[in-house]
Amino acid sequence: MSARMEEWAFPTRYDQSYLPDPDSPYWFPHRETMDPEERNAAVLVRLREVMEYASTTSSFYKDKWDAAGLEPADITSFEAFEQVPVVTKQEMRESQANHPPFGDYLCCDPSEVHHIHGTSGTTGAPTAFALGRRDWEVIADNQARILWGMGLRPGDTVFVAALFSLYLGSWGAMTAAERLRCRVLPFGAGAQGMTSRAVTWLARLKPAGFYATPSYALRLAEVAEKEKIDPREFGLKVMFFSGEPGASVPTVRKAIEDAFGATVIDCGTMAEMTPFMSASATAGTPDGMLLWQDIVWHEVCDPGTFRTVPYGGEGTPVYTHLERTSQPMIRLASNDLTRWVMEDNPCGRTYPKLPDGVYGRIDDMIHIRGENVYPTEVDNYLRGVADYGGEHQIVVRRTGSMDEMIVRAETTLPEGRRSEFEQRAGSGLQSFLGVRVTFESVDANTLERAEHKSRRVVDEREHTKR
């Protein structure tokens, strides 16, 4: 069985000179289109191999599984695998505090470490990601395979417009494009005046591919328009995004498509899970994200029990590396929310799919008077409203014993026509969300734009302070 799966082995080493037949939509035709049951059978064997490797090379996993009374040889079914306790970010922070700098879940020799990245979070101790030299090649290969699936080809220029330094997203996109034999412009983002320079470079180079966060693409479109350049003149074909919800939020996706005239592709799991593009749309199935199950094993689980929910159900993604040897993540809990389905994909790949992408983090969900509101729902609604100015802020506050949600949205309308906008957008949003909202409007281009991931929620309630 596995002999027929192209270059399927653990530890993994891909042929660095391989490129698919130029006419093939697939990098690995068999692996991508095979009977999913047959693929799952191979994955189950691999899960045992990865667990054996991790339990013999790291005290973190050995101790964790000893405490749970299980060992790798027990994993003879996916039901058994679902009993494997999840790994949390907190555990990794503790492991790194006790075993600096990489924690006792580093499974390779420290001399193998090739890149160090890390969490960019401003709160709490940072976590270091150690990536092995061979892992980096495998990551490049896997993500080149996914970029091929998006429709990018050798010789295409790929513009990377996200933060470099600690953020793995940009480096992962860059190394993938290099492996695909593209021309990469590692432009970056975040420095003073850089967005306006990006407009100049995009207009001059006319790249085929573009990587950023979705909020940054919208900001770039605004800056281009201010400079009287139509972003369609950049001639982009494929824009792929990770880092936050957006590319699967219908009105955000449409705003990007309309501004740039390119195919919008959503991808991304977590930096720890690099190759993080293992959840990604394709040229033939451009909506939602496919779960490339032979690269990373993705489960959508009940957030209480961490058992998988049936297809059609909603839950939290749990991820397992099938090829990483440096810091393999085995059942990493994401704390995100999504829904998964198994259906025939127009591109012919036999992977499950997240039809609405990842909607957001469980922690970011706003609980207000017994209702749950996702910040992405507010975004989705406002972007579809006429005269919306492009940015908003959500303030959650406790007044007396009641929680109150205030939405402050930009409008392009002049002062005299504000109340009509507030009335129309405010009542529309209220019925869309099913909760009472205090709606205010402000001038366009007055709220802060994200250079990286947007932060639109200000929660002023004491009990939810983190």
180 binds ligand 8LE (CB under 6 A): no
CB nearer ligand 8LE, residue 58 or residue 213: 213
Closest CA to 417 of 443, 382, 391: 443
CB nearer ligand 8LE, residue 244 or residue 323: 244
Q: How many helices (H) and strands (E) does the chain have?
A: 12, 21
**Residue number with the smallest Cβ distance to ligand 8LE:** 268
CB nearer ligand 8LE, residue 373 or residue 425: 373
Residue 404's H or E segment, with its range, is strand 402-411
Binders of ligand 8LE among residues 258 to 297 (CB under 6 A) are 266-271, 276
Compute the distance between CA of residue 171 and CA of residue 148 in angstroms, rounded to an integer: 17
| Only segment of 86-94, 241-249, 325-333, 406-414 that touches ligand 8LE (CB under 6 A) | 241-249
> What is the phi-psi region of residue 174: left when phi exceeds 0, alpha when psi lies from -120 to 50, beta otherwise?
alpha
Residue 441's H or E segment, with its range, is strand 438-443
CB nearer ligand 8LE, residue 273 or residue 429: 273
Structure tokens at 123: 């709160």
Q: What is the dihedral of CA 254, 366, 391, 448, to 10 degrees?
A: -130
CB nearer ligand 8LE, residue 134 or residue 453: 453
Q: What are the C-alpha distances in Å from 358 to residues 167, 218, 246, 306, 406?
A: 19, 19, 9, 17, 25
Binders of ligand 8LE among residues 319 to 338 (CB under 6 A) are 334, 336
Tell me, by CB under 6 A, how many residues bind ligand 8LE. Answer: 18
Closest CA to 243 of 207, 215, 278, 283: 215
Compute the distance between CA of residue 92 and CA of residue 104 in angstroms, rounded to an integer: 9
CB nearer ligand 8LE, residue 86 or residue 437: 86
Q: Smallest distance from the beta carbon of 119 to ligand 8LE, in angstroms?
A: 7
DSSP labels, 237-282: -EEEE-SSS-TTSHHHHHHHHHHH-SEEEEB---GGGSSGGGEE--
- 338 to 367: interface string for ligand 8LE, x by CB under 6 A: -------------------xx--x------
| Cβ within 8 Å of residue 99, ≥6 positions away | 106
| Only segment of 12-20, 35-43, 45-53, 240-248 that touches ligand 8LE (CB under 6 A) | 240-248
CB nearer ligand 8LE, residue 316 or residue 350: 316
Q: Which one of 96, 242, 325, 380 is in contact with ligand 8LE (CB under 6 A)? A: 242
Q: Smallest distance from the beta carbon of 332 to ligand 8LE, in angstroms?
A: 10
- Residues making contact with ligand 8LE (CB under 6 A): 168-169, 242-245, 266-271, 276, 334, 336, 357-358, 361
